[in-house]
Amino acid sequence: MATWLITGCSTGLGRALAEAVLASGHNAVVTARKVETLQDITAGFPDTALALPLDVTDKAQINAAVRQAEEKFGNIDVLVNNAGYGYRAAVEEADDADIRQLFDTNFFGAVDMIKAVLPGMRATKGGSILNVSSIGARITPAGSGYYAATKAALEGMSGSLRNELKPLGINVTAIEPGGFRTDFAGRSLTQSATPIGDYAETAGKRRKESDTSHGNQPGDPDKAARAIIAVVESATPPGLLVLGTDAVGAFGMVADAQRAELDQWRELSTSTDITD
């Protein structure tokens, strides 16, 4: 039996994962900004579930949640940084305060969660940290520049963290989901207040009022939850897990295009070395 701490469990992937972890017989610290949204998840698991309020931009709440989790269950074995939200705007359109709030939640919130659980994981020389990114970090669609940037930052940090923690017996996996049937593109999605007309044919097409993807995403959150549990239970977990046929296809297209561009510009790229 492992103890999981999962952020952002009120809806979507976080909720599905919390339910699957508990159904699998593990302990789960189930968190959300509004703890009352979690009662139906934890009600049937009085001994193995702990519902806690947690805003990942609040360090005091982070420390309190980790402390309460350790008091109830002992060590935290698995941290899933799932809390986050989408934001759409052309780069020029975005409000500074919106950008900072997005980074505080999607990136710095995950960093603070990691720092809070690592002392315990280092003490036991074991554990898993899973950081939920997005295929958006790879495909960088117009209108998602800042969201993609938060996830790219999360992945870059995850790669370095993996190298730092692997010798200590702690795994780090970044997860890139594609489109899943959640509230991500609906209620949870935010956007710039004032669009600029020149971006109507690029970023403008992905604004909430123009987007038809909500409710039509191909991914099943319950299947994603089972895949995440399988990664944690694997003897050789990956550094990057891509979820969804759409994400796998998009990943391949980007990788092929990047390789082709690398080869196209290889001569100029390699011409910059110092030569005797």
Question: What is 242-271 written as a DSSP string?
Answer: EESHHHHHHHHHHHHHHHHHHHHTHHHHGG
Task: Name the least confident of 7-21, 85-99, 174-188.
Answer: 174-188
CB-based contact 6:82 (threshold 8 Å): yes
Catalytic residue among 10, 128, 151, 158: 151
Catalytic residue among 10, 128, 133, 192: 133
According to the model, what pLDDT value does residue 211 have?
65
Catalytic residue among 87, 146, 147, 199: 147
According to the model, what pLDDT value does residue 178 have?
93
Q: Which pair of tokens denotes residue 235?
A: 């003897």
Tens digits of per-residue pLDDT, 55-84?
A: 999 999 999 999 999 999 999 999 999 999
Tens digits of per-residue pLDDT, 106-150?
A: 999 999 999 999 999 999 999 999 999 999 999 999 999 999 999
According to the model, what pLDDT value does residue 213 have?
65
CB-based contact 206:200 (threshold 8 Å): no
Can 192 be counted among the known catalytic residues?
A: no
pLDDT band at 38 (very low <50, low <70, confident <90, very high): very high
Residue ranges covered by each domain of the chain: 3-247
Provide, rounded to the nearest whole percent, the portion of the chain with pLDDT above 70: 95
Q: What is the mean pLDDT of residues 227-242?
A: 97
97 Cβ neighbours under 8 A, 6+ residues apart: none
* Domain range 3-247, its CATH number among 3.40.50.300, 3.65.10.10, 3.30.559.10, 3.40.50.720: 3.40.50.720
Tens digits of per-residue pLDDT, 145-166?
A: 999 999 999 999 999 999 999 9
Q: Which pair of tokens denotes residue 173?
A: 């996996």
pLDDT band at 183 (very low <50, low <70, confident <90, very high): low
pLDDT above 80 for 181? no
Pairing of the two strands 127-132 and 49-53: unpaired
With tokens 């699998």, the residue in question is: 24
Can 151 be counted among the known catalytic residues?
A: yes
Give the residue among 46, 83, 51 at the shortest CA–CA distance from 68: 51
CB burial of residue 45 (10 Å; 0-12, 13-18, 19+): buried
Average pLDDT over the chain reads 94
Question: Distance between CA atoms of 221 and 227, rounded to whole angstroms?
Answer: 10
Q: Which pair of tokens denotes residue 246?
A: 């759409």
Question: Distance between CA atoms of 39 and 52, rounded to whole angstroms?
Answer: 10
